[in-house]
Structure 1
Amino acid sequence: MSITHHPFAFTPREGGRVLCFTAHPDDVDFGAAGTIAAWTAAGVDVVYCVMTDGDAGGFEAEEDIASRRLEEQRRAAALVGVSEVHYLHERDGYLEPGHHVIAQVVALIRRYRPDVVLTMHPERNWDRLQKSHPDHLAAGEIVTRAVYPAAENPFAYPELEEQGLKAYKVPQLWFIAAPLERENHFVDISGTVDAKLAAIHIHASQHPDPEAMDAEVRAQLAENGRRAGAVPGVLAEGFHVVVVNGSDTFAGF
């Protein structure tokens, strides 16, 4: 499934688990839905957590846009084999890396104990600033802080230990919407691109021109394939993969 890859990147397998954290409904579909569809088809259990309700999104005023967007995300998730979606209900545009949010992320990580945590990139992308919405950057920072050191430190958020949520060392952290120079792993999604686009189409509140959106997404995926060195026509999603706890990790270092 991989084209060029981080040498120790997670290999999808029956019984594996991935926990995805994004800022808004639709972020995960633009960033990783093709890869997620391939993972779930291979027997990986994928769980979503969306931090904001997307209440500042859309192109015209809607009385209850937040509820509509949350339902769109549930339906889009189902199309790529994801049945469990959590929401933190933060306000769209106001997400900050505060401890009340980090603690919720740590709790989910300790509950699900995933092989991979996937999230937005915390570094700004100057080549395509739209990838770097402030909420995206905040989500990436929140999750990075949660993964290390909080999730694996039994003395961080002690109330979680008291609830039975024991410390857990996350093996890998995968980032979407990364600056291009950070991407070190590409996944060939040529076989799941239709599922990805179908999931994106569910977010109708955000896309006034579906045909133009399709063309732009396909062009970006084709460019990813080209940068990965694949044969022409391969469509790929790109990630910045970080091994947090590997075979050479010792005593937190």
Structure 2
Amino acid sequence: MTTNDQLEPMPGDWQRALAIVAHPDDLEYGCASAVAVWTDAGREVTYVIVSSGEAGIDTLEPAESGPLREREERASAAVVGVREVEFLGHQDGVIEYGVALRRDLAAAIRRHRPELLITLNPEDTWGGTYWNTPDHRAVGRAVLDAAGDAGNRWIFPDTDAEPWNGVRWVAVAGSGAPTHAVDVTDGLERGVRSLMEHRAYIEALTGEDPEKYARDLIEGFAREEARRFGGRPAVTFRLFSR
């Protein structure tokens, strides 16, 4: 970050990105607006969701909730131009950081061959105020590690796809210490509508009208970050180069 606290623009010289997160809805709490901007520019973005979010709705049994949340995520991704959404089937709420998770993520990276990897905050807290969930911490950390694993032919040599050492950056959304940002002026409305596709989840989470809930959150986050990005509504990332 520069000394005046202003964020740098995200790199633009890439064509393929892979977003890997723990749950359906993780990407919709802000990041989807940036995805809409990228797909508008002709870039390819694929989603890999580690669980189906089946433990996320208290009033629905996991066997019913998981398929519902997968449907909501596919509809949500389509709003921002994402055609491919893959679910890895790890158990929601108890995703474990370790070799098994790293292997699955390295295999996904090898299959999709991204230049840019995107994940969610792996830190202990959200801005030092709210404790982060175990799933977010495990998946975010494993994504950072799997970026290197995927390129090493001697690590996980039995995956179907060949090693891929083409990951150039890992972008962490929701970080308390962002370094870069995307101007989401043209993607903000679709970011709101993308979150609104998670209607069953939102209705279980809050008594607010789903559109008001989504609009207040997504527009609020983007406008709050504008002060660090030339007054433009922004989605922020902590960017790690490789």
TM-score when scaled to structure 2?
0.88
Q: 2:171 aligns with which of 148, 152, 174?
A: 174
Could you tell me how far 1:121 is from its partner in structure 2?
2.1
Q: Residue 234 of structure 2 aligns to which amino acid in structure 1?
A: A
Aligned length: 230
CA drift of 1:217 comes to: 2.7
- Structure 2 partner of 1:118: 118
Equivalent AA in structure 2 for residue 25 of structure 1:
P
Q: Which runs of 5+ in 1 are unaligned?
A: 245-253
Which stretch of the first structure deviates more once superposed, 44-53 or 215-224?
215-224
Structure 1 residue 125, shift from structure 2 partner: 2.5
Q: 1:60 to 1:229 in 2, by over 3 A?
A: same
Paired residue for 1:247?
A: none
Question: Residue in 2 aligned with 1:224?
Answer: 225
Aligned to 2:179: 184
The one-character-per-residue Cα deviations of 1:151-209 (angstroms, maximum 9, x if unpaired) are 1211101213xx45124241000001211xx2001111121111000000000122132
The percent identity for this pair of structures is 29
Residues 32-74 of structure 1: CA distance to partner in whole angstroms, max 9, x if unpaired?
Answer: 1011001111111110000011011125235601100000000
**Whole-angstrom distance in 2 between the partners of 1:131 and 1:76:** 26
Within 5 A, what are the aligned runs for 1:143-162? 143-148=143-148, 150-160=149-159
Contact 1:24 1:52 (C-alpha < 8 Å) held by counterparts: yes
Kept after mapping to 1: 8 A contact 2:30/2:222 = no
Q: Which residue of 2 aligns with 1:249?
A: none
Q: Which residue of 2 aligns with 1:205?
A: 200
Per the alignment, residue 241 of structure 1 pairs with 239
Provide closer, same or farther for how the CA distance between residues 131 and 219 of structure 1 changes in structure 2, counting only shifts above 3 A. farther
Gaps of 5+ in 2: 1-5
- Which residue does 2:46 correspond to in 1? 47
| Structure-1 separation of matches of 2:171 and 2:124 | 16
Distance in 1 between residues matched to 2:192 and 2:131, nearest whole Å:
18
CA distance in 2, matches of 1:155, 1:20: 24
Partners of 1:204 and 1:130 lie apart in 2 by 24
Q: Which residue of 2 aligns with 1:66?
A: 66
The alignment yields a C-alpha RMSD, in angstroms, of 1.9
Residue in 1 aligned with 2:189? 194
Matched position secondary structure for 2:154: coil
Question: In 1, distance between residues paired with 2:22 and 2:129?
Answer: 16
Deviation >6 Å, runs of 4+: none
Separation in 1, partners of 2:104, 2:123: 22
Compared CA separation, residues 111 and 176, structure 1 to 2 (3 A): same
Q: 1:78 to 1:167 in 2, by over 3 A?
A: closer
Helix, strand or coil at the partner of 1:237: strand
Alignment match, 2:215: 214
Residue 79 of structure 1 deviates from its aligned partner by: 0.6
TM-aligned CA distance change 1:77 to 1:194, over 3 Å: same
Q: Quote the Cα distance in structure 2 between the aligned partners of 1:126 and 1:27.
A: 14
Structure 2 counterparts to residues 8-47 of structure 1, below 5 A: 9-11=10-12, 16-47=15-46
CA contact (8 A) 1:174 1:240 kept: yes
Contact kept in structure 2, 1:10 and 1:116, CA below 8 Å? no
